[in-house]
Amino acid sequence: MRIIVGVSGASGVEMSLSLLRALRNANCETYLVVTEGARLTWSLETDIPIEELYNAADHVYAESDYAAVIASGSFVTDGMIVMPCSMKTLAGIANGFAENLLLRAADVCLKENRRVVLVPREIPLGRVHLRNMLSACELGCAIVPPMLTFYNGADSLQSQIDTVVGKVLMQFNIIPDNFKPWRGVEEN
């Protein structure tokens, strides 16, 4: 599979590293675009060199690179994941405002009826955020917010991230090995 990964400047940018590693484990070819906002958030939230993120992807593009293959619908992909998705990037996707390569790639995926999965992150959510999420959903995006999960014993930050990554990849019918689903209740 070929999957575009967009990383925007919401909190939780390091989740994208786990996402890219899971995609590599699943033999997906990845096309990464990281916004300026994401680079700032990365520098403020994590000590991990951002090169680790770039190295986890197969192809990396600057947000200003409108000549990149992912800017055209003639380059066939299986879709796109935006993780995390800032409220600004959500607004751009929901309104077709393609003012950087991430937004253009999402616009292209939607016009070509390809899967677009958004991992929107803001707390609390205001009306404009909720409206834009509904608009994006109506346009065909899957909205998969990075919510805490308690039913599967995810008791560390990494296991919470793994759960979100698993839920995101399920949208592409990929189940990572470390994903812990609900297993039901044993009857006595």
Ligand X SMILES: Cc1cc2nc3c(=O)[nH]c(=O)nc-3n(C[C@H](O)[C@H](O)[C@H](O)COP(=O)(O)O)c2cc1C
Q: Which residues of the shown chain bind ligand X in the complex (CB under 6 A)? A: 8-11, 35, 37-38, 40-41, 44-45, 86-89, 121-122
Q: Of 104 and 174, which has the nearer Cβ to ligand X?
A: 104
Which uninterrupted H or E stretch holds 116? strand 115-120
DSSP class of residue 16 equals H
**Smaller CB separation from ligand X, 58 or 122:** 122
Minimum CB separation of residue 97 from ligand X in Å reads 11
Q: How far is the CB of 178 from ligand X (least distance, A)?
A: 25
- 100-132 as b/e, with b when 16 or more CB fall inside 10 Å? bbbbbbbbbbbeeebbbbbbbbbeeeeeebeeb
Q: Contact at 8 Å (CB) between 151 and 182?
A: yes
Toward ligand X, which CB reaches closer, 10 or 141?
Answer: 10
Nearer of residues 41 and 174 to ligand X, judged by Cβ: 41
Comparing CB distances to ligand X, the nearer of 83 and 174 is 83
CB of residue 98 to ligand X, shortest distance in Å: 12
DSSP H helical ranges for the chain:
15-25, 36-45, 50-55, 87-94, 101-111, 127-138, 157-170
Task: Answer whether 186's CB lies under 8 Å from 32's CB.
Answer: no
Lookup: tokens for 158: 């990494």
Least spacing, CB of residue 129 vs ligand X, in Å: 8
Q: Provide, rounded to whole angstroms, the least separation between the CB of residue 63 and ligand X.
A: 7
